[in-house]
């Protein structure tokens, strides 16, 4: 069985004590830290970027998972890698040449991910599966934390998992958006093994919430 990993998204953390918020989920046993970068162009909101990543890099050895919701992400891959990203995910909708972008990430020494929005067919990822470490299926429209899981996306995860199995590839499947106690099981059953959770971790007691979510693994 592929390792199941919780990736708390600090988008929903309290930024006045970001270091502590990260330590809490690390202690709870989360292996990845999800870092949502938004540019106000590809998505409506603006979040944070390289200086914040660089600063929080010092607090933990977790895998820092940078999710780039930005136009022309190729411009910034080098800088996010330098700032401490271990895994960099770009959106299929934003890259000029997905294979080249994934190769560029690998050349920087990071793991590479490719994401699709809810309205983008998951088959769009298939030509690039050989070149990625992780496929990200968005389960909300990117741009904000705290949205509701889009049920139709579960089938996309299942189709992707079947394709990966059929081709004998070793590609992780990440789901992002609306993952909580009520939705995490369906995502896992469909084949997701890296579960992003923002509000369901950081709303309330982050330690307890993270432990509870990992109880579903
Ligand atoms: C959405 C982001 C998510 C977000 C998830 O645009 O990509 O990573 O933080 O938040 P929740 O878990 O609250 O849906
Ligand atoms: Zn994200």
97 carries an active-site annotation: no
Model confidence band, residue 180 (pLDDT cutoffs 50, 70, 90): very high
Pocket test for ligand 1, best of 90, 140, 146 (most atoms within 8 A of CB): 140
Q: What number is the average pLDDT over the span 173-186?
A: 98
Residue 1 has pLDDT above 90, yes or no: no
Place of tokens 């080249």: 100
Q: How far apart are CA 110 and CA 104, in angstroms?
A: 9
Of 91, 87, 84, which Cα lies nearest the Cα of 65?
A: 87
pLDDT tens string 65-121:
999 999 999 999 999 999 999 999 999 999 999 999 999 999 999 999 999 999 999
Residue 146 Cα: closest atom of ligand 1: 13
Domain boundaries, the chain: 5-214
Q: What number is the average pLDDT over the span 35-59?
A: 98
Ligand 1 binding pocket includes 12 (Cβ within 6 Å): yes
Longest CA pairwise span in the chain (Å):
46
176 carries an active-site annotation: yes
pLDDT tens string 120-150:
999 999 999 999 999 999 999 999 999 999 9
Q: How far apart are CA 127 and CA 186, in angstroms?
A: 26
Give domain 5-214's CATH superfamily: Aldolase class I (3.20.20.70)
Contact of 90 with 114, CB cutoff 8 Å: yes
pTM: 0.98
pLDDT recorded at residue 70: 98
Ligand 1 binding pocket includes 38 (Cβ within 6 Å): no
Nearest CA to ligand 1 atom 4: 145
């Amino acid at each position: 069985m592929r390792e199941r990993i919780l990736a708390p998204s600090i988008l929903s953390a309290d930024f006045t004590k970001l270091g502590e918020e990260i330590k809490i989920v690390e202690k709870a046993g989360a292996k990845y830290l999800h870092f949502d970068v938004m540019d106000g162009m590809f998505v409506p909101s603006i979040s944070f970027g390289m200086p914040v990543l660089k600063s929080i890099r010092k607090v933990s050895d977790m895998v820092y998972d940078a999710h780039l919701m930005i136009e022309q992400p190729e411009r910034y891959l080098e800088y996010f890698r330098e700032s401490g990203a271990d895994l960099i995910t770009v959106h299929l909708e934003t890259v000029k040449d997905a294979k080249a972008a994934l190769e560029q990430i690998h050349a920087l020494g990071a793991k590479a991910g490719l994401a699709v929005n809810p309205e983008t067919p998951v088959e769009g990822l298939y030509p690039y599966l050989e070149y990625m470490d992780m496929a990200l299926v968005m389960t909300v429209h990117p741009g904000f934390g705290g949205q509701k899981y889009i049920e139709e996306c579960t089938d996309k995860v299942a189709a992707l998992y079947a394709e990966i199995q059929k081709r004998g590839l070793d590609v992780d499947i990440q789901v992002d958006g609306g993952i909580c106690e009520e939705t995490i099981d369906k995502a896992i059953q469909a084949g997701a093994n890296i579960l992003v959770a923002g509000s369901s971790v950081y709303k309330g007691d982050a330690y307890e919430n993270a432990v509870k979510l990992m109880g579903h693994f």
